[in-house]
Chain A
């Protein structure tokens, strides 16, 4: 069964360092999402891609976060510099298209900023 792949699964870093997360969506899925889930909260959208284009990054803290999906397949989310408040689970999801198409989530990257 096809799955969304993410790496690393866990990342511990010190504040002010740079971190990067990678996501490989299910083959053929044009829509890719990055969500952040803080403990005790629900996932919140950071950025949505349609193929290689950003569709929605209104909630992405652009002073420190960046995301790209250069060839419309895999994607990288970067944080520079990391802050203590960035400690969270970073979830990648993909779907065939936007809207009422099932979004499949990867296992997530658990980030701890010390």
Chain B
């Protein structure tokens, strides 16, 4: 049973527009959420995170929103750039447990 779900395998967005990547989770014990970005043939790199006590965290062009009641989080990228094209993984932690990942969403930013 997947605890972290990314239901959109892929997303295409025009350069300069907003990219919205979504993530749902089932484990209400998750208390910390992260987004990782992955280019082909490389390991995932950390992008942004949010604690369960917050509902928003912003870092430059990247904003993560958390809706605990809906067990849903989203990553907004504004404005989207061609270099943002990658696979984005949503991940979650409960206490001291290891990261649990979703299946990823492949973002393509079209110039």
* B13-21, B72-80, B90-98 - interface stretch: B90-98
* CB of A52, distance to nearest CB on chain B (Å): 17
Chain B interface size range: 20 to 34
Chain A residues 55 to 110 lying within 8 A of chain B, measured CB to CB, are 56, 91, 93, 97-100, 102-108, 110
Residue ID in chain A nearest B6 by CB atoms: A42
Name B89's contact: one of A42, A100, A107 (CB within 8 Å): A42
Known interface pairs A42-B89, A48-B98, A110-B41; A102-B103 also in contact (CB < 8 Å): no
A98 engages B96 (CB within 8 Å)? yes
Which of A9, A98, A99, A110 counts the most chain B CB atoms within 10 A? A99
Contact partner, B98, options A9, A45, A110, Cβ 8 Å = A45
A105 touches B45 (CB 8 A): yes
20 pairs from A and B in contact (CB 8 Å cutoff): A33-B98, A40-B9, A41-B103, A41-B104, A42-B89, A43-B44, A43-B99, A56-B97, A91-B43, A91-B44, A98-B96, A98-B97, A99-B93, A99-B95, A99-B97, A102-B34, A102-B49, A103-B99, A108-B41, A110-B41
Contact (Cβ within 8 A) B42 A43: no
**Chain A residues engaging chain B, CB cutoff 8 angstroms:** 4, 6, 9, 33, 40-45, 48, 56, 91, 93, 97-100, 102-108, 110
Given contacts A93-B99, A99-B97, A100-B31, 8 further A-B contacts (CB under 8 A): A42-B89, A43-B44, A43-B89, A48-B98, A103-B46, A105-B45, A106-B43, A108-B41
